Structure 1
Amino acid sequence: MPVKLAGPKRSRMSMTSLIDVIFLLLLFFMLTSTFSKYGEVELMAAGQAEGVEERQKLFVSLGADSLELNGQPVDLTRIAGLIRSQPQDGSGHLVLISPKEEASSQQLVDLLAVLRSVENLQTVVLS
């Protein structure tokens, strides 16, 4: 007489709890990670300026929709070139930035990012 050896009958595994765990892990990693890169902006307060007597001083006024270099309106894309073309004695330029109350912090950061490309430039943000 043949003996029938049958293994245990397998039931279908429920995927509901696995999907819940994957969703929770995905949500956790999305909320704890950052998708944007943070940049460093160097600021110097007006009282901390050292050795500025020998530098060529330039004044930048930053408004909500205006930008002026020494009282003349300029475009943000051209300000770095205009500062480079200013005469200097070899020690570089000192740019005093005066943001108006209606100017946003993003506009100030954009201006500082453009001015970063100028060599031998020191910026001081006036408050």
Structure 2
Amino acid sequence: MFAFAAPRRRRRPSLTPMIDVVFLLLVFFMLAARFGQDAGIELGLAGGGGAWSGPPRLVELTPDESRLNGVAVDMPGLVAGLGRLTDSPADPIVIRPAPGTDLQRLADVLAALRAAGFSALALVE
């Protein structure tokens, strides 16, 4: 006859590695979570305003320069030029980034115009 070994008691799996993994995931997600409010730039929806009044105010952004109505200007010149072209800070200003313009450059220009008091900024393609 065949002689089989005596049946051994089944070993239960240890829960320690699973608990370690759960705690590591908990720590990871707590560190990766972002608490607080991110900075944002408010833009109005196009077509919601009234009729256009005053001279044209087109700000074109390229990767290398900023142009106000086709004339290359630096940032202080842009703010000063828009101040001369607007009657009030609520007058609309059209901003058109050229293809290839960095998003950070656009955000910097929008933040500078907001800081200068201009509130009606319209972003177009």
Q: Please give the range of the TM-score, normalised by the shorter of the 2 chains.
A: 0.5 to 0.7
Q: What is the CA-CA distance between 1:26 and the residue it aligns to?
A: 3.8
Q: Counterpart amino acid of 2:82?
A: I
**Percent of aligned positions that are identical:** 26
1:44 counterpart residue number: 44
CA RMSD between the two structures: 3.1
Residues 55 and 94 of structure 1, relative CA distance in 2, 3 Å threshold: farther
Displacement, 1:92?
Answer: 4.1
Please state if 1:63 is matched with 2:59. no
User: Gaps spanning 5+ residues in structure 1: where?
Assistant: 1-16
- Give me the TM-score of the superposition, normalised by structure 2: 0.64
Q: TM-score, normalised by structure 1?
A: 0.63
Q: CA deviation at 1:109?
A: 1.3
* Alpha-carbon distance in structure 1 between the residues aligned to 2:85 and 2:62: 25
Unaligned 5+ runs, structure 2? 1-16
Q: Give the whole-Å Cα distance in 1 for the aligned partners of 2:89 and 2:108.
A: 25
Higher relative contact order (CA 8 A, sep 6+): 1
Mark the CA change 1:56 to 1:119 in structure 2 (over 3 Å): closer, same or farther: farther
State the secondary structure of the residue aligned to 2:63. Answer: coil
Structure number with higher strand proportion: 1
User: 1:59·1:97 contact (CA, 8 Å) conserved in 2?
Assistant: yes
Aligned to 2:28: 27
What amino acid is the match of 1:57? P
Q: Residues 55 and 37 (structure 1 numbering): CA distance in 2 closer, same or farther, change over 3 Å?
A: farther
Residue by residue over 1:29-83, the C-alpha shift from the partner in whole angstroms, topping out at 9 and shown as x without a partner, is 212x22785112122354x241242355311000111111122212235422332
Q: Which position in structure 2 is the counterpart of 1:125?
A: 123
